[in-house]
Structure 1
Amino acid sequence: MTRTDAGSAAMSPTRIRFALVALALGGFAIGSTEFVAMGLLPDIAHSMLPGIWARSHEDANAHAGLMVSAYALGVVVGAPTIAASAARLPRKRLLMWLLVAFTLTTVAAALAPNFPTLLLFRFLCGLPHGAYFGIASLVAASLMGEGKRARGVAFVLTGLTVANIVGVPAITWVGETYGWRAAYLCVAGLFALTFIAVSAAMPWQPGNPGQTLRRELSAFRHPQLWFALGMAAIGFGGFFALYTYVAPLVTDVAHLPQQPWVPLALVACGIGMFVGNLIGGHSADRSVQRTILAAFLAVMATLAFTGLFARTPALLILGIFLVGAASSVVSPAVQTRLMDVAHDAQSIAAALNHSAFNLGNSLGASLGGVVVGLGLGYRAPIWLGIGLTVLGLIIAVVSFSIERRSGRLRARTRPLNLTVPSH
């Protein structure tokens, strides 16, 4: 038998795996709602922005990219707010309420009458994202035990990556066949299914009754927390600068038909993300710092490869796979880093990882839209993405250097033990 977090009953390995799969199913649903817009961007632009579409397809796609930014900003706002204010609540109850919110806001987005309303509901749908992953990551880490925390986090994130292999391409096909509104109704069904699974599988775990909002917010006093947020928010923007414009990269740059190549490109990215997430979880359990540095270098190299060979269909698909793999190595490593540097504010630290990554999502998507809107073409976001990744790498190097220097300083200034040993 294996013991879970304090206050939980002893659980068998089979029950633990069942609970982890239920949590990962939530990641699958969240990955579907977050990323399905990329494959359906031209369809949404044509449907919701007909006037702009008639003048310029590029301008309409750039405007439709604001959907990605709206959802990401919802994550940025909601993750610290919900996680900090709800740290006292039992974790299972909180996760179930978050899944109810996901379901209702996704249905509302599917029924949105115009583009501004769609943006509003996509923002609202993003609010519970970070809190769900943050609390689910804490539960998974407690179930896995010491020495396997990053693998527990990676398991929850596996649902997100599998969504890009199965969920996003399948729902993209639904959207292309029956309309983008039908696609979002399918996503709402996934959230309802996850609600049932979490209700049945997840053990009861208490919140922290002694935790206060002020105590959770104290995490922001630690400079290393800000460095970790910065490296994720800016460095991961490079991935989203490319991923937001996958569909037009395939159709306008490689000159491939939308079917079946856009879904295949999304599958390639999803497989890469799945592989990278597993590598990141195992690697971060050995060394968080080395994993982050190596991953950023890999993202830069794979983005450059994709940009150089985007006109060649096979190499474009390969490049998208490699970018997805390299980028996903970063996520469990930064999640673990945030939990390490936040000290007692674990709930908000676990959620802030997703605020940071979705700030990168918003940054990459919006800046990518700017360069596309300037007429620089659909490869321009890739070169922009390399610049963002370089900045993320610089932040990581500065953070780790300061930490090593302060550690050596503490070692040198530690008082000498002058006690005479007894014999």
Structure 2
Amino acid sequence: MPFPLYLLALAVFAMGTSEFMLAGLLPDIASDLDVTVGTAGMLTSAFAIGMIVGAPLTAALARTWPARSSLLGFVLVFLAAHAVGATSSFPVLLATRVVAALANAGFLAVALTMAATLVPPGKKGRALAVLLSGTTMATIAGVPGGSVLGTLLGWRATFWAVAVLCVPAAIGILAALPASRAHAAAAEGPALRSELAQLARPRLLLALLLGALVNSATFASFTFLAPIVTDIAGLGELWISIALVLFGVGSFAGVTVAGRLSDQRPGLVIAVGGPLLLIGWPALAMLADNPGALFTLVFVQGALSFAVGSTLITRVLYEASAAPTMAGSYATAALNVGAAAGPLIAATTLSTTVGNLGPLWASGLLVAVALVIAFPTRRALAAAPGPARQR
């Protein structure tokens, strides 16, 4: 894989740390800012909503800009948003999450599009796996580290740490990405209206919908994992970091395996991983009071969630190949529709009789809906990209 892909993954690591770290910080933020845990969960949804809106908007605005300048600018805005958020009240923190999300969305939309152009046709899944390794490494190292830092020094220290992480990412982009690499596809390829028209294609809409549903299931439970570890399993706060590490290791394994299969055998990943993912969420809800089972299933669900989810997002990139500058924004929007909807759906279950286990049951229901939709369309999902599909 080309070296610039790994530089992009470094920036995705910093941004992924920010996006996922709230799973271990929500109780601390809620207590410090005098809001409920459910209200604090809005920070995750606000971030995701900002990315949903920001992905197509920033991609459209930046489609004719030099890629290096765009990526560097997005990283610097992301850094500034965290510096302000670290010193803020809840309303301002909520606003900075939206600003950070807009910057993250712009970066990821441009990065996904660039990643697809850096590799030969038929290897988009491998390129996506490298890029998403930044996210999975964030769940392995960045998020648990942030959780420990938050436990020891408070959640504001974690926000400052993310701002510091952006510095080497910005330096790497400035030093190693070619300055002349503009979005040539915007000048030589289809017009913006033509790229937007691709959203009417049924296969693209199917991949977007399924990707959003699977990611919503992931975020529904991941956002509220901390109270499951402490209140259901009865473990101390530092065990939250262990759970997050296991989820991250699982997600890294899942996206790595899927990256080698999703280009030519996407149907296999979905047919095997989808049902197992469906079984895993209710199993986790029923066994969450057993620490051994909890940690095992957190690892397994991380692997399955990212394997199935990344495969579906790879399908988005293939199905949107006729939209060379906007395809990354469509994939980003699908991921974050799920990231926004999942915590909101999960939050409604916290006040029911199942309490903190509600998000796990909600995740199972969301995966079930995805599989019901996917089953009659399985042939379209299983089709490997042929020459005609990559034009």
Task: State if a TM-score over 0.5 links the two structures.
Answer: yes
Cα distance in 2, alignment partners of residues 230 and 78 from structure 1: 18
Partner of 1:55 in structure 2? Answer: none
Cα distance in 2, alignment partners of residues 319 and 330 from structure 1: 16
Partner of 1:415 in structure 2? Answer: none
Match of 1:124 among 99, 103, 124: 99
Q: Secondary structure at the match of 2:234?
A: coil
Match of 1:262 among 223, 226, 240: 240
- Does residue 226 of the first structure (1) align with residue 205 of the second (2)? yes
- Does residue 79 of the first structure (1) align with residue 58 of the second (2)? no
**Given residue 323 of structure 1, which amino acid in structure 2 is its aligned partner?**
Q
**Given residue 269 of structure 2, which amino acid in structure 1 is its aligned partner?**
T
- Does residue 394 of the first structure (1) align with residue 372 of the second (2)? yes
**Contact 1:302/1:319 (<8 A) preserved:** yes
- Does residue 285 of the first structure (1) align with residue 263 of the second (2)? yes
- Does residue 239 of the first structure (1) align with residue 218 of the second (2)? yes
Distance 1:143 1:404, change over 3 A: closer
Deviation at 1:41, TM superposition (A): 0.7
Cα distance in 1, alignment partners of residues 375 and 93 from structure 2: 39
**Given residue 242 of structure 1, which amino acid in structure 2 is its aligned partner?**
S
Over the matched positions of the two proteins, sequence identity in percent amounts to 32
Deviation at 1:32, TM superposition (A): 0.4
- Does residue 45 of the first structure (1) align with residue 68 of the second (2)? no
Partner of 1:296 in structure 2? Answer: 274
Question: Which contiguous aligned blocks of 4+ residues in structure 1 show a shift greater than 6 angstroms?
Answer: 402-405
Match of 1:381 among 350, 359, 376: 359
Deviation at 1:358, TM superposition (A): 1.5
Match of 1:156 among 118, 128, 131: 131
Deviation at 1:347, TM superposition (A): 2.7
Cα distance in 2, alignment partners of residues 390 and 92 from structure 1: 41
**Given residue 342 of structure 1, which amino acid in structure 2 is its aligned partner?**
A
- Does residue 352 of the first structure (1) align with residue 330 of the second (2)? yes
Cα distance in 1, alignment partners of residues 76 and 49 from structure 2: 20
- Does residue 307 of the first structure (1) align with residue 292 of the second (2)? no
Is the radius of gyration larger for structure 1 or structure 2?
A: 1
- Does residue 105 of the first structure (1) align with residue 81 of the second (2)? yes
Q: CA RMSD in A?
A: 1.9
Cα-to-partner distance string for 1:208-236 (whole Å, 9 max, x where unaligned): 22454323312222122221111111222
Match of 1:180 among 128, 151, 155: 155
Match of 2:5 among 15, 20, 33: 20
Cα-to-partner distance string for 1:136-189 (whole Å, 9 max, x where unaligned): 223233333233221111101001000111111111111111111110011011
Farther off after superposition, 85-94 or 147-156: 85-94
TM-score by length of structure 2 reads 0.92
Unaligned runs of 5+ in 2: 384-391
Cα distance in 1, alignment partners of residues 382 and 14 from structure 2: 39
Match of 1:189 among 161, 164, 167: 164
Distance 1:403 1:379, change over 3 A: closer
Partner of 1:136 in structure 2? Answer: 111
Cα distance in 1, alignment partners of residues 382 and 227 from structure 2: 44
Cα distance in 2, alignment partners of residues 175 and 129 from structure 1: 22
Deviation at 1:375, TM superposition (A): 4.9
Match of 2:319 among 326, 329, 341: 341
Q: Secondary structure at the match of 2:263?
A: helix
Q: Secondary structure at the match of 1:209?
A: helix
**Contact 1:219/1:343 (<8 A) preserved:** no
Cα-to-partner distance string for 1:285-328 (whole Å, 9 max, x where unaligned): 22223323433222112212211210000110111111110011
The count of aligned residue pairs is 379
Deviation at 1:200, TM superposition (A): 1.2
Q: Secondary structure at the match of 1:373?
A: coil
TM-score by length of structure 1 reads 0.85
Deviation at 1:341, TM superposition (A): 1.6
Q: Secondary structure at the match of 1:315?
A: helix
Partner of 2:90 in structure 1? Answer: 115
Unaligned runs of 5+ in 1: 1-12, 53-59, 406-423
Cα distance in 2, alignment partners of residues 375 and 82 from structure 1: 42
Q: Secondary structure at the match of 1:198?
A: helix
